[in-house]
């Protein structure tokens, strides 16, 4: 169908590392194409790689674990280090293309290139099994699953960004409808959030010598040390003064809980105020080994 074969033209400035600080990587970008299984095509501008990185670096996070915060910190650190940044998840989300519908050849080839920071992953996607991630430096950000599920409910009900078109728009609206029609206790135990368990488990397979795991609870009130640790882990070489400035820029702590805001609240353990004990117990049973692995049980 012609409608399915349309060319989606989306401006990916922030997704390709042109948000926040102005990047100093100056060469003209290359354009490649991401293709969906039903004919959707997304043109993607790829900046020139950095010669500072012999291998690309990667950032993964669980939804609602401070994932956007991590994205923004990396954008600023990499801009200061003249390292180009690309978010495949962000490109596909904004362009209306579901990751499971993405033809794998182009993203696999892109992720195999050296010299980039590939950030913004909210899951370890199937096509990434063809990428040599073991030899690349990675960070993973996790959070107590009980708080993750609580935060996701409020995000989907009130504040999550809705793409302008495509399958990703339909997916967010479907989640929003469910969040409005179900109670929070029903929603966090429903199939709508079953993907979280899979994402946690797949992230566990990434752990090794080249992987640094951060827990939300350890970093949310200690952003200066966190940003410094990311800078050191990836050997970005950003000055201490700039690291402190980036950390302070993103040190946003709401005075009170606001369900309509993206940063609703940041204090760990908020699930205790919003979930019944029966729901907490059910989540704890389901995620028992995951919680033990990450120190939550």
Q: What tens digit of pLDDT does each residue of 196-217 get? A: 999 999 999 999 999 999 999 9
Token couple for 80: 């200061």
Which residue ranges form the domains of the chain, and what is each CATH number?
30-293 (3.40.50.300)
Token couple for 139: 């960070």
- 120 backbone φψ class: left, alpha, beta (φ>0; ψ -120 to 50): left
pLDDT the model gives residue 159: 86
In degrees and rounded to multiples of 5, residue 85 shows phi and psi of: -120, 140
Q: What tens digit of pLDDT does each residue of 32-67 get? A: 999 998 888 999 999 999 999 999 999 999 999 999
Coil, helix or strand for 146? helix
pLDDT less than 50: residues of the chain: 1-14, 18-25
Rounded distance, CA 108 to CA 119, Å? 15
For residue 241, what are the CA distances in angstroms to 46, 213, 230, 232? 30, 25, 15, 14
- Tell if the pTM clears 0.85, that is, is over it: yes
């Amino acid at each position: 169908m012609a409608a399915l074969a349309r060319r989606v033209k989306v401006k990916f400035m922030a997704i390709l590392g042109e948000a926040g600080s102005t990047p100093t990587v100056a060469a003209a970008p290359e354009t490649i194409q991401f293709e969906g299984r039903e004919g959707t095509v997304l043109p993607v501008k790829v900046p020139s790689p950095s010669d500072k990185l012999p291998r690309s670096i990667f950032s993964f996070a669980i939804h609602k674990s401070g994932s956007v915060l991590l994205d923004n910190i990396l954008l600023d650190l990499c801009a200061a280090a003249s390292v180009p940044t690309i978010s495949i998840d962000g490109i596909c989300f904004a362009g209306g293309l579901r990751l499971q519908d993405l033809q794998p050849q182009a993203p696999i080839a892109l992720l195999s290139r050296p010299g980039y920071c590939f950030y913004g992953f909210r899951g370890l996607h199937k096509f990434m099994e063809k990428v040599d991630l073991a030899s690349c430096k990675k960070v993973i950000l996790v959070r107590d699953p009980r708080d993750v599920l609580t935060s996701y409910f409020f995000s989907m009900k009130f504040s999550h960004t809705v793409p302008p078109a495509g399958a990703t728009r339909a997916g967010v609206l479907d989640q929003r409808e469910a969040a409005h029609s179900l109670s929070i206790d029903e929603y966090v135990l429903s199939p709508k959030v079953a993907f979280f368990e899979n994402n946690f488990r797949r992230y566990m397979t990434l752990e090794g010598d080249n992987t640094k795991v951060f827990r939300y609870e350890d970093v949310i009130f200690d952003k200066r040390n966190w940003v410094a640790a990311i800078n050191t882990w990836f050997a970005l070489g950003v000055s201490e003064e700039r690291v402190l400035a980036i950390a302070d820029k993103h040190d946003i702590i709401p005075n009170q809980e606001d369900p309509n805001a993206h940063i609703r609240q940041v204090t760990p353990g908020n699930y205790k105020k919003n979930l019944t004990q029966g729901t907490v117990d059910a989540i704890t049973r389901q995620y028992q080994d995951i919680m033990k692995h990450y120190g939550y049980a």
